[in-house]
Structure 1
Amino acid sequence: MTTAGQKVAVITGASQGIGAGLVAAYRKLGYGVVATSRSIAPSSDPDVLTVRGDISDPATAERVIAAGIERFGRIDTLVNNAGVFIAKPFAEYTATDYESAIGVNLTGFFRITQLAAERMLAQGSGHIVQITTSLVDHASSDVTSVLASLTKGGLQSATKALAIEYAGRGVRANAVALGIVKTPMHPEAYYEMLAAMHPLGRMGEVDDVTEAVIYLEGAAFVTGEILHVDGGQSAGR
């Protein structure tokens, strides 16, 4: 169980990059954290519970939320950070590409969010955050991104729908739409090229993302927001 007054965050895709940064950021706030990914290692921190599993399998969502409730007794925040990005010309996407993107980006969001929302509504408070991409709002000729736009665009629309459905019940929903962030996903050899794709002339850092999520965490009057953390990409070029 949590200590008196301790809140609890569930973070998907939590083993590296943005997800690992989010685990650290929520711990700094004093939250207990349930961290999940396919390859996550056990944590030596007693306030971080790790659960291995493929988020595209609804059974993983069931295990993550059940384990969080068993350990901490509540769920206050869910950050749907797990995601796949497959950049190919539209006609070259395979059935496997499609299933992977739908599985992680949409199915991975759906069941765990249902289960977390159920707990939040019972508590009368909670916060659901999606990590998306600014390509949803501002397609770029530099990046072929139909599968990302199809799935992450769905998440942004769902974020607004959840925000309105739950606005009178103490549960907020927001999204953070990203530019290109320095994570293990991007080889260092491409950094200069990727930096040039942002009006601010640099790639995002993990801290840029975590600061945005933590801002939303404390912004009690903000719901249904799509917060762009993208170096100006969505504004234009």
Structure 2
Amino acid sequence: MMRKTAIVTGASTGIGKSIAQLFLDKGYNVVINSASLGNLEVTYYELGHHDRLEMVPGDIGNPYTGKKLVERAMQRFGSVDVLVNNAGVFEPKPFLSVEEKDLDKFLNINLKGTFFTSQTAIRQMLEQDGGSIINIGTVLVDHAIDGFPATAPISSKGGIHALTKQLAAEFGRDNIRVNAIAPGIIRTPLQAKTGVDNADVLAGLHLLNRVGETEDVAQLAYYLAESNFLTGEIINIDGGHVAGHRFN
């Protein structure tokens, strides 16, 4: 049986890196991407398994990057079975301070990147017997928080949630499953970039009274990749953040 191949965008740190590591550990071929060549090279050597690992640097907001990822996967490994659209940017800014360039940045990297990378991957999956696309959204699309103004990035993530369901509908008959993961607060380098130096101070947002780890998200991504009868779902992995509130 031929080894499966996964593409993971935004894989040099945080959630993407953990997803790439788990898929390698489970025996997949993996193609990793990051906008930063320096960070990508460091991660490439840390992950090991270089007989099953390939790297493609580039801004995912440029459709050429997605095409290059699929081309490299095909040249090196011969298939594209899983695409994890993890690359993205997120930072809070009050709505009245958002400028056009701010919104464009989130739409280009988050929504456009997911959209056109998926388009290229689906073209290849149609030549195979299907595949799995896993998008990364956020629980904040459906569960807004006063005091954390992030209308611009959340608007782009809302587009990803909608895209997920539309693609699942359009390509279900082709055995292409499309799902999204909506994380709560996860301990990643991204937290520091959003002004949260210690993610644990946000533990109280979750019923489990802790923040998530990148490995938690990776386990769900792997489950979705392997599931043959799950599509069109947006799955919260948030320690109960959306289900209810702690009151004490």
Q: Does 1:34 align with 2:31?
A: yes
Query: What do residues 173-215 of structure 1 show as CA deviations (whole Å, max 9, x unaligned)?
Result: 0000010110112247432322222222111101110111112
Greater Cα shift, 41-50 or 209-218: 41-50
Secondary structure of the residue that 2:182 maps to in structure 1? strand
2:80 paired residue among 56, 65, 75: 75
Q: Distance in 1 between matches of 2:228 and 2:64?
A: 32
Alignment-derived partner of residue 172 in structure 2: 167
Q: Does 1:222 align with 2:230?
A: yes
Q: Distance in 1 between matches of 2:118 and 2:13?
A: 21
Secondary structure of the residue that 2:205 maps to in structure 1? coil
What is the correspondence of 1:1-237 to structure 2 with a 5 Å cutoff?
A: 4-39=1-36, 40-41=40-41, 42-43=44-45, 44=48, 45-187=50-192, 189-237=197-245
Secondary structure of the residue that 1:233 maps to in structure 2? coil
The one-letter code matched in structure 2 to 1:100 is K
User: TM-score by structure 2 length?
Assistant: 0.90
Q: Distance in 2 between matches of 1:143 and 1:179?
A: 13
Moved segments of 4+, more than 4 Å: none
The one-letter code matched in structure 1 to 2:133 is I
The one-letter code matched in structure 1 to 2:154 is S
Distance 1:192 1:74, change over 3 A: closer
Q: Distance in 2 between matches of 1:82 and 1:68?
A: 17
Greater Cα shift, 89-98 or 181-190: 181-190
The one-letter code matched in structure 2 to 1:209 is V
Shift, 1:98, TM fit: 1.2
Secondary structure of the residue that 2:191 maps to in structure 1? coil
Q: Distance in 1 between matches of 2:209 and 2:53?
A: 36
User: TM-score by structure 1 length?
Assistant: 0.94
Q: Distance in 1 between matches of 2:180 and 2:141?
A: 12
What fraction of aligned residue pairs are identical, expressed as a percent? Answer: 39
Distance 1:92 1:175, change over 3 A: same
Secondary structure of the residue that 1:34 maps to in structure 2? strand
**Is the contact made by 1:75 and 1:119 (CA closer than 8 Å) also made in structure 2?**
yes
**Is the contact made by 2:31 and 2:55 (CA closer than 8 Å) also made in structure 1?**
yes
Q: Distance in 2 between matches of 1:70 and 1:189?
A: 41
Structure 1: unaligned runs, 5 residues or longer: none
**Is the contact made by 1:87 and 1:144 (CA closer than 8 Å) also made in structure 2?**
yes
Greater Cα shift, 38-47 or 154-163: 38-47
**Is the contact made by 1:176 and 1:226 (CA closer than 8 Å) also made in structure 2?**
yes
Shift, 1:95, TM fit: 2.5
The one-letter code matched in structure 2 to 1:56 is G
Structure 2: unaligned runs, 5 residues or longer: none
Secondary structure of the residue that 1:227 maps to in structure 2? strand
Shift, 1:124, TM fit: 2.0
Greater Cα shift, 195-204 or 16-25: 195-204
Secondary structure of the residue that 2:30 maps to in structure 1? strand
Q: Distance in 2 between matches of 1:148 and 1:199?
A: 25
